[in-house]
């Protein structure tokens, strides 16, 4: 292996011995590639970019512009000049600085609006509840759909207030205590059943979006939401009123979370999350109001009966009626037997008299 020639200017540079070794190594790596092993040549090739750059910089005799372009003659002329005083420009305030001001002549800025944050929040709430981006047909149908839920909730609150008024004054305003309790027995299952229908409908919307191909195909996620919604909704009709309403409240919030994610992903219309927020807010407030009303009348109506308890009562009443019917049949059969025995005795007595 023959050592290549290294330029003399490269040896005289101030980079030191390491730079000479690095440049020699890069030079040798280019000339001995065919005679060395592949791994060794690959290792040396790593130093080529750095070594080539250093060699080019060291062998360049021209220096970059601006390093030695200082005009010493002009600087000497300036140093010999005498500074002149300008007292007309100096005053008692020209060299002073206000203590609490960063700028001497600060511009008059308008006072910040302390209510800007609150106004911005109110504007956001107003834009959210106006629902300007929601199509009118969907808006009207959605608001009409929550009216029965809101009506049953307000009716429950009124019945609770009427029961409390009846307990305090001996009579209710529009209904007596028995009528109010009977009305509650109808309103509560109606609200729970209607809530189950709404939850199932909200899950079915994802199936419709999938079949329409809105935002692409996401069959697993959309079908899963459509199946989970009725699976959560319909078992609530078998729970007590309080537990059923709480479960439906969680189901409504879960579906709103899924709808908001779908709007952000582009798999649902952009206005759908705002629309669902307003409807979920109304339904959630109705559930909370119903629970508050139920809490006011627990002392008067006691713990509510579950549907399974009602079925058990019906079954027990049927068994009781069946038992009474069997006893009545036995009593009538015994009476018929007694009447038949009396007739036989009378016939036997008549035969003896004839003989």
- DSSP three-state, residue 126: helix
The mean pLDDT value for 286-299 works out to 80
Q: Determine the pLDDT at residue 218.
A: 79
24-82 confidence digits (pLDDT tens): 444 444 444 444 444 444 444 444 555 555 555 555 556 555 555 677 888 888 888 88
What secondary structure does DSSP assign to 251-272, as a single string? HHHHHHHHHHHHHHHTSS-TTH
The pTM of this model reads 0.51
Question: Nearest CA to 263 among 252, 271, 253, 275?
Answer: 271
114-164 confidence digits (pLDDT tens): 788 888 888 877 776 677 788 888 888 988 999 998 999 888 888 888 777
pLDDT band at 192 (very low <50, low <70, confident <90, very high): very high
Enumerate long-range contacts of 220-227, CB under 8 Å, 24 or more apart.
222/267, 225/255, 225/258, 227/203
Among 99-108, 110-119, 269-278, name the one with the lowest average pLDDT.
99-108
pLDDT band at 3 (very low <50, low <70, confident <90, very high): very low
**Is 311's pLDDT higher than 90?**
no
How far is Cα 284 from Cα 347, in angstroms, rounded to an integer? 82
Residue burial 158-188, b: 16+ Cβ < 10 Å; e: rest = bbbbbbbbbeeeeebeebebeebbebbeebb
Contact criterion met (CB below 8 Å) for 278 and 222: no
């Amino acid at each position: 292996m023959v050592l290549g020639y290294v330029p003399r200017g490269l040896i005289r540079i101030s980079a030191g011995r390491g730079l000479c070794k690095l440049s020699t190594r890069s030079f040798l790596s280019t000339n001995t590639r065919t005679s060395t092993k592949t791994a060794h040549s690959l290792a040396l090739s790593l130093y080529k970019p750095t070594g080539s750059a250093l060699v080019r910089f060291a062998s360049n005799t021209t220096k970059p512009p601006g390093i030695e372009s200082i005009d010493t003659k002009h600087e000497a002329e300036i140093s010999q000049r005498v500074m002149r005083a300008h007292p007309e420009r100096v005053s008692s305030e020209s060299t002073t600085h206000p203590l609490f001001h960063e700028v001497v002549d600060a511009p008059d800025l308008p006072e910040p609006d302390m209510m800007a944050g609150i106004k911005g929040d109110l504007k956001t709430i107003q834009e959210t509840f106006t629902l300007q981006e929601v199509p009118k047909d969907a808006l009207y149908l959605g608001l009409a759909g929550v009216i029965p839920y809101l009506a049953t909730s307000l009716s429950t609150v009124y019945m609770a207030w009427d029961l409390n008024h009846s307990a305090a004054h001996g009579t209710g305003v529009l209904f007596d205590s028995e009528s109010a309790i009977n009305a509650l027995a109808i309103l509560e299952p109606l609200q729970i059943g209607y809530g189950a229908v709404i939850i199932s409908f909200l899950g079915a919307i994802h199936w419709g979006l999938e079949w329409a191909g809105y935002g692409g195909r996401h069959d697993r996620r959309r079908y899963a939401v459509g199946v989970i919604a009725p699976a959560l909704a319909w078992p609530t009709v078998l729970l007590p009123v309080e537990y059923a309403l709480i479960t439906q409240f969680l189901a409504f919030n879960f579906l709103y979370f899924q709808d908001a994610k779908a709007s952000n992903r582009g798999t649902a219309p952009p206005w759908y999350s705002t629309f669902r927020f307003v409807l979920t807010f109304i339904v959630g407030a109705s559930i909370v109001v119903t629970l508050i009303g139920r809490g006011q009348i627990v002392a008067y109506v006691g713990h509510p009966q579950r549907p399974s308890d009602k079925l058990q009562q019906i079954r027990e009443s049927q068994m009781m009626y069946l038992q009474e019917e069997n006893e009545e049949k036995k009593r009538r059969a015994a009476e018929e037997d007694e009447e038949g025995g009396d007739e036989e005795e009378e016939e036997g007595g008549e035969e003896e008299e004839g003989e």
